[in-house]
Amino acid sequence: MQKHNFSAGPCILPQSVLQKSAEAVLNFNNSNLSLIEISHRSKDFVEVMENARNLALEHLGLLNKGYQALYLQGGASLQFLMVAYNLLEKKAAYLNTGTWSNNAIKEAKLIGEVVEVATSKNENFNFIPKNYTVPSDADYFHCTSNNTIFGTQMQVFPDTEIPMVCDMSSDIFSRQLDFSKFDLIYAGAQKNMGPSGTTLVVVKENILEKVSRNIPSMLNYKVHINKESMFNTPSVFAVYVSMLTLQWLKDLGGIPKIEKANTTKAQLLYNEIDRNSLFEGFVPNKEDRSKMNATFNLKNETLKATFDEQLKQAGINGLNGHRSVGGYRASMYNALPLESVQILVDVMQHLEKQA
C-alpha cells in the first residue's frame, strides 16, 4: 500500500533520492565498494562534500559572498550551544517563538547574558510576535524561522545592525528569502534536506573570531571551515543523501519552483481546515501559519477514533500532533506530493459527510 508520509521529521524524501542512496550503500560510483565503507578522505567522497557545500550556498544565493557551508554533527541542539560559544561575548538577543527557541536560549544562558526581545509563550506559542526591538548593543539576534511543533512561521525578519542568526531547521530550502540578511543559518538535515545525522551551518566568515574565549575544537566554526568540513570524520551517509536531495531540488528548478508547490499544498489544506465544520486550526492568525507544518484539531474529540482509523486506511502516516499541542499536525515538506495532501483533504471531507 502506498504511504502518504506527513511525518514532522525525519520526514519524507524524494523517491529517486532514496533509490540512489540505497544503491550507493551497495556499490558507490561503480567502485564495487559501499559508500559507507570507504575513506572520507577518498577522492569520491571529498567530491560529495564539496558538491553538498556548494549546492547549499547556490540554492541560498550565497555562493562567493563571504559565506561558508559546513555539514556538522549534533543537530540543531548542538548549534544552540555552538552559536553562543562562537558569538556571545557580552549579551545576545533572542526571539522566543516556541520549544526550539526556548532550548536555544537555555544553552546560550550558560555562556552569557540573554535578552528575550519578545515571546508568544503566554498564548502557547500560537502566533509570531511583532513590533519588537532588537537591541543594537547585543552581539547577535537569534530567531527560529519555522516552529515545527506549533505550526507558526516567520514571514518578516527584522532589519538589524547586529549579526542575525536563524534556526531554519524546518523550512530551509522551502521558500525564497533574502538569505544575505542572515549572518548564520543552521538547520538539522532531517526535514527538507536529508536524513538525520548531519546539520547544515551557513556562516558569514567575517562574524567569527570576535569573542575572547578559547573555543574547543569541535565547537569552533573556524576550525571546521579551515578543514573544509572534514576536521573529523563526517556523517558520510547523511551528507551524501543531503547532496542528492539538493541536486534533486536544483533539477526541479530550485527554491522558486518548490515554493510554488509548497504554497499550493498549504492552501489546499488550510482552506479545508477553515472550511470543514469539524476542524479548527491551532494558529488563529493566518499570516503566522506555517506552510511546512499545519496544526489543527478536531472540534469534537469523540470523532477521533473514526478519523484516525480512516487516516490509517488511506495510508496516511505521521499526522499526530506534538504532545505540547495535541490534535493533528500535517507536515508538508518539499518532497511531499500534492496528491498526498489531496488524500488527507478527502478523508477530512469524508468524515464531515458521515458526521
**Interface residues with a second copy (CB under 8 A)?**
1-3, 5, 7-13, 18-19, 21-23, 25-26, 31-34, 36-40, 73-78, 80-81, 103, 106-107, 110, 188, 190, 194-198, 214, 216-219, 231-238, 241, 315, 317-318
Q: How far is the CB of 81 from a second copy (least distance, A)?
A: 5
Cis peptide bond upstream of 10, omega within 30: yes
**Is residue 100 annotated as a catalytic residue, yes or no?**
yes
For a second copy, the closer CB: 66 or 216: 216
For a second copy, the closer CB: 75 or 129: 75
**Is residue 167 annotated as a catalytic residue, yes or no?**
yes
Q: How far is the CB of 239 from a second copy (least distance, A)?
A: 9
Whole-angstrom Cα distance, residue 200 to residue 71? 5
**Catalytic hit among 139, 183, 191, 288:** 191
For a second copy, the closer CB: 8 or 69: 8
**Catalytic hit among 167, 171, 183, 288:** 167
How many whole angstroms from its chain centre is CA 60?
14
For a second copy, the closer CB: 197 or 327: 197
Q: How far is the CB of 102 from a second copy (least distance, A)?
A: 12
For a second copy, the closer CB: 310 or 317: 317
To the question of whether residue 248 is assigned a binding role by annotation, the answer is no
To the question of whether residue 97 is assigned a binding role by annotation, the answer is no
Residue 317: CB partners within 8 Å, gap ≥ 6? Answer: 3, 4, 5, 6, 7
Comparing C-alpha atoms, which of 30, 49, 17, 89 is closest to residue 247? 17
Residues in the chain, overall count = 355
Comparing C-alpha atoms, which of 19, 14, 66, 343 is closest to residue 203? 66
Comparing C-alpha atoms, which of 324, 322, 326, 319 is closest to residue 341? 319
Beta strand 141-144 pairing with 164-167: parallel
Q: How far is the CB of 190 from a second copy (least distance, A)?
A: 6
To the question of whether residue 232 is assigned a binding role by annotation, the answer is yes
Residue 136 in grid coordinates: 543594537
* Residue 48 CB-half CA count within 13 A: 28
Q: How far is the CB of 41 from a second copy (least distance, A)?
A: 9
**Catalytic hit among 100, 183, 288, 291:** 100
To the question of whether residue 190 is assigned a binding role by annotation, the answer is yes
Residue 246 and residue 14 in contact, taking contact as beta carbons nearer than 8 Å: no
Whole-angstrom Cα distance, residue 341 to residue 349? 12
To the question of whether residue 340 is assigned a binding role by annotation, the answer is no
To the question of whether residue 2 is assigned a binding role by annotation, the answer is no
DSSP secondary structure of 222-254: HHHHHTTT-SS---HHHHHHHHHHHHHHHHHTH
Binding positions for L-glutamate: 41
Binding positions: 41, 76-77, 100, 148, 167, 190, 232-233
Residues marked as catalytic? 100, 167, 191
Binding positions for pyridoxal 5'-phosphate: 76-77, 100, 148, 167, 190, 232-233
